């Protein structure tokens, strides 16, 4: 009888601990809610892409996103993307366009052409808008040539100049309405586990006060078209950043990683898109990453409230908006036919 009671006690304790550990996991997969038509952000004349949401001190929500004119074609993102700012009373929208925040700065600058991949953050009372841009080296060009490049796309000779010149930078402001002060140089060059370019920036501040910047580049010593994710660390949100030797993701071609630090769980989490799914990874130290318990959080289709499915041509740029340290919204970019827009999916709040 005594052995039986001891066994029951052991099983109860291990079961309780298991439940506590499970409750500490960020399990987004089963909490994603259905898509409503009210939570789709489309523009008649622009492709909308690359969403990043932040809440101000007055309770209003701000969306920073990429957009470019449809007349240039979808590949116009590399030549004509601009970063726009929209506002809403709710993190799911509906969103109202407010202003264009940033576009290419013009010849003579590292960020001469395009402004893309925005990631908005607040650190210690200031706002940091991370973005990607490019330039044409010393080659002269005209606006009509850029439009031609946009419309032809990947096979245009200029693509071989513009793509490898893409770099991540940051602009700083004391107010979400600007003005935004850009830096004269990019934040980081490709090195270590990535080569060619530094794009898709995402950043989080860890418990140690340091800033963990994740960027995408090409995988070194690889003949196939495979992209790696890499992390760089700094004492400041504006750098200098030191590239870490270990890749965040290197065994799978991925893009668009979005990272955050969870204070209550003392862990980093990130979502990304691969060819066939939206995935999630986690890390205790921001450097060594592993698959999250619910690794594949979404297929490349989205169920709607009316029971039908949105079946996009492309589903990319996942972003997790947090409120009170909990995931509240999953936003993603959709390309379908000759349109591109952003969708916002509610995430059921955890009860811990």
Length of the chain: 352
For residue 139, which of 153, 123, 156, 117 has the smallest C-alpha distance?
156
Question: For the chain, which domains are there?
Answer: 48-346 (2.115.10.20)
Cα gap 43→21, rounded to integer Å? 44
pLDDT at 7: 43
pLDDT at 350: 55
Task: Give the pLDDT score at 349.
Answer: 73
Q: Quote the pLDDT of residue 213.
A: 98
Q: Supply φ then ψ for residue 76, to 5 degrees.
A: -65, -5
Cα separation, 31 vs 320, in Å, equals 13
Cα–Cα nearest to 133, from 168, 159, 158 = 168
Cα separation, 280 vs 273, in Å, equals 9
CA distance 116 to 61: 20
Give the chain's mean pLDDT. 92
State the pLDDT at residue 351: 44
Give the mean model confidence (pLDDT) for residues 154-170. Answer: 98
Average pLDDT over residues 85-114: 98
Question: pLDDT per residue over 242-289, tens digit each?
Answer: 999 999 999 999 999 999 999 999 999 999 999 999 999 999 999 999
Q: Cα–Cα distances in Å, from 51 out to 91, 118, 148, 198?
A: 12, 7, 27, 18
Q: Tokens for 351, please give them.
A: 């009860």
pLDDT at residue 24 in the model: 64
Q: Please choose, from the candidates 185, 217, 213, the residue with its C-alpha nearest in 3D space to the C-alpha of residue 199.
A: 217
The average pLDDT across 138-166 equals 98
Q: Is the dihedral of CA 278, 324, 289, 197 positive or negative?
A: positive
Residue 121 has pLDDT above 70, yes or no: yes
Are 254 and 274 in contact by the 8 Å Cβ rule? The answer is yes
Specify whether the CB–CB gap between 171 and 180 falls below 8 A. Answer: yes
pLDDT in tens, 3-19: 444 443 434 433 333 33
What is the DSSP secondary-structure string of 35-81?
Answer: BPGGGEE--SSEEEEEEEEEE-TTS-EEEEEEEEEGGG-GGGHHHH-
pTM for this predicted structure = 0.92
The number of beta carbons lying within 10 Å of the beta carbon of residue 292 is 22
In a 3-state reduction of DSSP, which class is residue 102?
A: strand
Asked if 270 and 286 touch (Cβ cutoff 8 Å), the reply is: no
Residue 16 phi, psi dihedral angles, 5° rounding: -65, -45
**CA-to-CA separations, 227 to 76, 198, 261, 348, in angstroms, rounded:** 21, 11, 23, 32
Residue 140, helix vs strand vs coil: coil
The beta-carbon contacts of 280-283 under 8 Å, at least 24 apart in sequence, are 280/26, 280/28, 280/29, 281/248, 281/249, 282/26
């Amino acid at each position: 009888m005594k052995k039986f009671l001891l066994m029951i006690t052991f099983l109860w304790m291990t079961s309780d601990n298991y439940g506590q550990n499970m409750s500490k996991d960020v399990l987004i997969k089963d909490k994603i809610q259905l898509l409503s038509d009210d939570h789709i952000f489309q523009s008649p004349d622009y492709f909308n892409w690359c969403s990043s949401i932040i809440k101000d001190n007055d309770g209003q929500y701000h969306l920073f996103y990429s957009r470019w004119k449809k007349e240039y074609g979808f590949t116009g993102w590399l030549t004509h993307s601009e970063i726009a700012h929209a506002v809403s009373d709710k993190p799911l929208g509906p969103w109202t366009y407010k202003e264009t925040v940033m576009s290419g700065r013009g010849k003579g600058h590292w960020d001469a052409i395009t402004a893309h991949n925005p990631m908005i953050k607040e650190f210690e009372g200031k706002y940091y808008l991370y973005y990607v841009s490019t330039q044409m080296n010393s080659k002269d060009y005209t606006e009509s040539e850029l439009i031609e490049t946009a419309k032809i796309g990947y096979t245009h000779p200029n693509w071989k100049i513009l793509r490898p010149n893409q770099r991540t930078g940051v602009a700083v402001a004391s107010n979400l309405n600007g003005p935004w002060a850009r830096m004269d140089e990019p934040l980081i060059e490709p090195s270590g586990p990535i080569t060619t370019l530094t794009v898709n920036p995402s950043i989080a501040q860890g418990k140690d006060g340091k800033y963990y910047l994740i960027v995408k580049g090409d995988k070194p010593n690889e003949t196939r078209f495979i992209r790696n994710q890499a992390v760089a660390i700094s004492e400041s949100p504006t750098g200098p950043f030191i590239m870490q030797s270990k890749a965040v993701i290197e065994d799978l071609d991925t893009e668009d990683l979005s990272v955050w630090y969870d204070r209550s769980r003392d862990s980093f989490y990130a979502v990304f898109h691969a060819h066939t799914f939206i995935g999630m990874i986690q890390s205790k130290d921001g450097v060594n990453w592993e698959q999250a318990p619910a690794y594949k959080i979404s297929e490349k289709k989205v169920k709607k409230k009316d029971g039908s499915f949105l079946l996009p041509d492309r589903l990319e740029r996942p972003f997790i908006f947090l409120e009170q340290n909990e995931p509240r919204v999953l936003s993603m970019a959709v390309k379908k036919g000759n349109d591109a827009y952003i969708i916002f999916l509610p995430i059921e709040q955890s009860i811990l």
